[in-house]
Amino acid sequence: MRACRGELSKLASLPSVWVSCLVGVAVPAVVAFISASTGDTKAGADAGFQELAFGVVGAVVLGVVAASSEYSTEGEASGGGRQITTSLTVVPSRTRFLLAKVAAVITTATVLAVAAAAITLTFVQVLLGDHVQASDVSRVPGVVVYWVLTALLAFGITLLTRNGIVPLAVLILNTSVVTVTFLLTKITTLAVYFPDMAGLRMFIIEMDLPVHLSPVAGGAVMAAWVVVLLAAGVAVFRRRDA
């Protein structure tokens, strides 16, 4: 529990985390506000939720920075300092250290997702009231689970690479308007089982994909990816020199 508090305090001390939270809340809220105030209704039942699918970049940066900040500290006088040695001196059990870290990432991502969903959907509700039905609130847990799983996915990949650039490039690029995984579904239907394509089913209704998955099945596929990547990250982290 104290280890977890320590990890939360480390996250809170990173400017990148605060900026990523700001981006995660502001991007979907502002974009939803712009499209709703122009009376754009082509998103239909997914109004607001589509924007939340892009806002997940905030969770991506959060997950990447949570891992990469342990390995390289950039700054005038840090000379490439590595916080990980200090962290493991304080919490020598590597499994406990990672559990605390994962708990901190989950907590932060949950708060971030709830805040982003609340603000974005409020804008949509106020500006396009007749388009948001009561059932839409039932999709909010899907948004939160998607953001948390994405943050953990980014964290797991960064644990393997120990460098933030590659996971950032791959994951942000894949949050774009036409994602790479969506293009890959044109080559092979297997691509619908990529974590983001599967996970989006939890809250996006209209998806032009060759295979239909229920929200629960989509969430399960995404969770399986996260479990495998985190397990690989934990296994490597426990065996490798810090």
Residues that bind another protein (CB under 8 A): 15-16, 19-20, 23, 27, 31, 34-35, 38, 40, 51, 54, 57, 61, 64-65, 68, 72, 74-76, 79-80, 164-165, 168-169, 172-173, 175-177, 180, 183-184, 186-187
Whether the Cβ atoms of residue 20 and residue 58 lie closer than 8 Å to each other: yes
- Outline where the chain has alpha helix (H): 2-12, 15-37, 49-55, 57-68, 83-90, 94-127, 140-161, 165-173, 180-187, 195-199, 215-239
- Please identify, using beta-carbon distances, which residue of 12 and 235 lies nearer to another protein: 12
Choose among 17, 99, 68, 49: nearest CA to 199: 49
Choose among 119, 112, 133: nearest CA to 65: 112
CB of 82 to another protein, least distance (A): 12
CB of 198 to another protein, least distance (A): 19
CB of 86 to another protein, least distance (A): 19
* Dist. CA 223–CA 198, nearest whole Å: 10
Tokens matching residue 199: 């996970």
- Please identify, using beta-carbon distances, which residue of 20 and 87 lies nearer to another protein: 20
CB of 168 to another protein, least distance (A): 5
- Please identify, using beta-carbon distances, which residue of 60 and 223 lies nearer to another protein: 60
- Please identify, using beta-carbon distances, which residue of 72 and 125 lies nearer to another protein: 72
CB of 200 to another protein, least distance (A): 15
Contacts of 27 (CB under 8 A, 6+ apart): 51, 54, 55, 57, 58
- Please identify, using beta-carbon distances, which residue of 176 and 214 lies nearer to another protein: 176
- Please identify, using beta-carbon distances, which residue of 23 and 112 lies nearer to another protein: 23
CB of 163 to another protein, least distance (A): 9
Choose among 131, 140, 143, 135: nearest CA to 45: 131
* Dist. CA 105–CA 20, nearest whole Å: 13
Tokens matching residue 103: 């708990």
